[in-house]
A and B are shown apart, each in its own frame.
Chain A
Amino acid sequence: SQTIHQWPATLVQPVGSPLSLECTVEGTSNPNLYWYRQAAGRGLQLLFYSVGIGQISSEVPQNLSASRPQDRQFILSSKKLLLSDSGFYLCAWDGTGAANYGYTFGSGTRLTVV
C-alpha cells in the first residue's frame, strides 16, 4: 500500500539553528512531492515541489530550501532558522498511478522557533 511519512511531528528549535524535516513515501515510484506551509487564515502555501530526484522547484522565496536525494525522499531544510519560520509544515504526495487520483497529505510538523 502507498503511504507517506513525515517527521518529526513537533519540533522546537532556537533561532539560528539548522532545520531538517523529512518526508518519505512508500509503495510507489517517481512520485511528485510537495512541501506546504499552513498560511495565515488557514490556507495552504506551496513552498517547494519536486517531480524527481534532484529536481526542486521553489514557489516562494524563503529562508528554506528543499532537496530530493532519493526517489521517495523529500527534505525541507534551513541553515539558520528565523522566528518567522515557525509554523505547520505539510508534506504531500501526488499519486500518479492509475489507482491514485489526488493528494495524500502527511501528518504535518509543528515547528516552533524560539
Chain B
Amino acid sequence: DQQVKQNSPSLSVQEGRISILNCDYTNSMFDYFLWYKKYPAEGPTFLISISSIKDKNEDGRFTVFLNKSAKHLSLHIVPSQPGDSAVYFCAASARDNDMRFGAGTRLTVKP
C-alpha cells in the first residue's frame, strides 16, 4: 500500500520563484519525515528532514512544513535555481523504523 504519496509527478517553475513540492501520508504513526534529492545518474541524497514534534524546519533556501492533522508535508525552495532541477522524494518513518518513499516529483527550474 502507498503510505507515502507524491501526487504530482512533475513541476516546472521559473528561476527565482518559489518551488513547492507536496507529499501526503496515511500512516499516523510516522514521526519523522525526510526529503531526498536525486540528479540523473546519481543516487538520492538527503536534503532536509523534520520531526513530528515540529511543524517547520528551515535550512537555507529549503523549508519543510508539516501539517500533522492533514497528514501533509511540503518542501519549499526559495528562490529556485536551475541547479535545483532534480527528482525529489518524500520519505517517512515511524519510531526509527523503516522508511517509506513516495514516487517522486521531478522539478524543472527554467532559467
Per-residue A-contact encoding for B34-58, CB less than 8 Å = 1, 0 else: 1010101001101001000000000
| Majority secondary structure, A binding face | strand
Is B43 in contact with A34, judged by CB distance below 8 angstroms?
Answer: yes
* Cα separation A42 to B87 with both chains bound (whole Å): 19
Is A103 in contact with B38, judged by CB distance below 8 angstroms?
Answer: yes
Known: A44-B36, A88-B98. A104 touches B103 (CB 8 A): yes
Is B104 in contact with A110, judged by CB distance below 8 angstroms?
Answer: no
Interface residues of B in 7-48 (CB under 8 A from A): 10, 32, 34, 36, 38, 40, 43-44, 46
Chain A minimum-CB-distance residue to B108: A101
* Cα separation A107 to B101 with both chains bound (whole Å): 8
Interface residue B63 (Cβ < 8 Å from any Cβ of A): no
Is B32 in contact with A42, judged by CB distance below 8 angstroms?
Answer: yes
When distances are taken between beta carbons in the complex, the residues of chain B under 8 Å from A88 are 97-99
Is B89 in contact with A103, judged by CB distance below 8 angstroms?
Answer: yes
Is B93 in contact with A42, judged by CB distance below 8 angstroms?
Answer: yes
Q: How many residues of A contact B (CB 8 A)?
A: 17
When distances are taken between beta carbons in the complex, the residues of chain A under 8 Å from B36 are 44
* Cα separation A71 to B69 with both chains bound (whole Å): 44
Is A101 in contact with B106, judged by CB distance below 8 angstroms?
Answer: yes
Is B106 in contact with A102, judged by CB distance below 8 angstroms?
Answer: yes
Q: How far is the CB of A107 from chain B (nearest CB, A)?
A: 8
Interface residues of B (CB under 8 A from A): 10, 32, 34, 36, 38, 40, 43-44, 46, 49, 87, 89, 93, 96-101, 103-104, 106
Interface residues of A (CB under 8 A from B): 34, 36, 38, 42-44, 46, 88, 90, 101-105, 107-108, 110
Q: What are 6 residue pairs bridging A and B, where the CB atoms are less than 8 Å apart in the complex?
A: A43-B46, A44-B43, A101-B10, A101-B40, A101-B87, A102-B87
5 nearest A-B pairs in the assembled complex, by CB-CB distance: A102-B87, A88-B98, A105-B101, A102-B104, A101-B106
